[in-house]
């Protein structure tokens, strides 16, 4: 993770911040989510740098991957439907593709709902 300032820091000059128990837990959780120490997180946020959470990047990668999988499955289904019945794929294969599409839709919904609750 990028830091705003790379100056040598004097460990004998800490900055004291008074927080509640809940605030401390929230700051620690946010720092962990960004894969930063609490000190680095607070320093960077205090200097105007807004770190991205790791979850955001992972969620986006997962959604992109699931979207690509759905596109491929949809393409297979479209190919079968465009062909005459019995050509291109048999009914069992189509049922399998439909089940995979349904599974991917459920996974997408789960990821979206998890993110919605987080916001």
Q: Pick from 23-32, 90-99, 106-115 the range whose average pLDDT is largest.
A: 23-32
Residue 29 above 60 pLDDT? Answer: yes
> Residue range 29-49: average pLDDT?
88
> Residue range 56-64: average pLDDT?
74
pLDDT for res 3: 47
Contacting residues for 98 by C-beta, under 8 A, at least 6 apart: 77
pLDDT for res 1: 44
> Residue range 83-108: average pLDDT?
76
pLDDT for res 112: 73
């Amino acid at each position: 993770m990028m830091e705003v300032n790379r100056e040598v820091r004097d460990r004998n000059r800490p900055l004291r911040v008074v927080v509640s128990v809940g605030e401390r837990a929230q700051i620690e959780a946010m720092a962990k989510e960004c894969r930063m120490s609490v000190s680095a997180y607070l320093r960077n946020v205090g200097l105007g740098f807004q770190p991205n959470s790791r979850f955001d990047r992972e969620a986006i990668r997962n959604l992109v991957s699931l979207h690509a999988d759905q596109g491929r499955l949809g393409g297979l289904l479209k190919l079968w439907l465009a062909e005459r019945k019995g050509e291109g794929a048999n009914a069992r294969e189509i049922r399998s593709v439909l089940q995979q599409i349904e599974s991917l839709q459920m996974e997408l919904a789960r990821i979206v709902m998890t993110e919605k609750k987080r916001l």
